[in-house]
Amino acid sequence: MEKKKDGWFSKLFTSLGHEREDSFAQRKVRISASKEASLMRAEASVLINRPLADVYAFFSDPENNASWISGVLKCEGDPRGVVKERGRLAVEMQFIGRHFRTTAIFTEVLHNKKLAYQGERGPFPYRGTLEFVETPQGTLVAVNFEAVPGEVLHLTLPLLRLAVQTKISSDLTRVKEILESS
């Protein structure tokens, strides 16, 4: 197994005693037992009965985020419009009674396949992926989100994990309803 040591998130993982296998997209993350409580991870997926191109177009337009991501008050892409690799996303949101402002950078944009991002500025380090797979029934969207909350949020980590997982699942249900009704 090769340890990745590039980038601030990898350095943070290593400093917390985490080891990663190959690529983040493969979702193979090993966490040492002593540091497992530091990482918050949530994964969810949804099958949307719409063509891949339509689903990807919706997700890749930051202006749609407020319509399907609960708590998003404002979301702006830079440059405006459809996301591009190294493009930034400024988000203002409300979650678990707290107001957050964060900036993410898109680290990987594969048309009709994947959107990967990581926090550049915000309350704690985070990153995530949205992956898109065309199936005979429609488009499968898989979401993976990882974060290392700060000291204050760390105290409530088990509840925070549950809240994030529930939020992502309900947001995917909402986006399914939006896309299948249009």
How large is the average pLDDT for residues 27-35? 34
Write the CA distances from 57 to 91, 115, 132, 168, 181, integer angstroms.
19, 11, 11, 19, 16
List the structure tokens of 161.
Answer: 């994990």
Question: Could you tell me the sign of the dihedral formed by the alpha carbons of 151, 96, 163, 119, in that order?
Answer: negative
Cβ count within 10 A of residue 52:
18
Cβ count within 10 A of residue 59:
22
List the structure tokens of 5.
Answer: 């040591």
Dist. CA 168–CA 146, nearest whole Å: 12
Q: How does the average pLDDT of the chain come out, rounded? A: 79
> Which one, of 143, 131, 138, lies nearest residue 167 by Cα?
143
Instruction: Reply yes or no on domain 40-181 having CATH 3.40.1010.10.
Output: no
Are 125 and 147 contacting, i.e. CB atoms less than 8 angstroms apart? Answer: yes
Q: Is residue 4's pLDDT more than 90?
A: no
- pLDDT tens for each residue of 106-137: 999 999 999 999 998 777 788 999 999 999 99
CA angle centred on 97, ends 92 and 98, rounded to 5°: 45
pTM (predicted TM-score): 0.75
Domain ranges of the chain: 40-181
List the structure tokens of 148.
Answer: 């290392």
Q: Is residue 20's pLDDT more than 80?
A: no
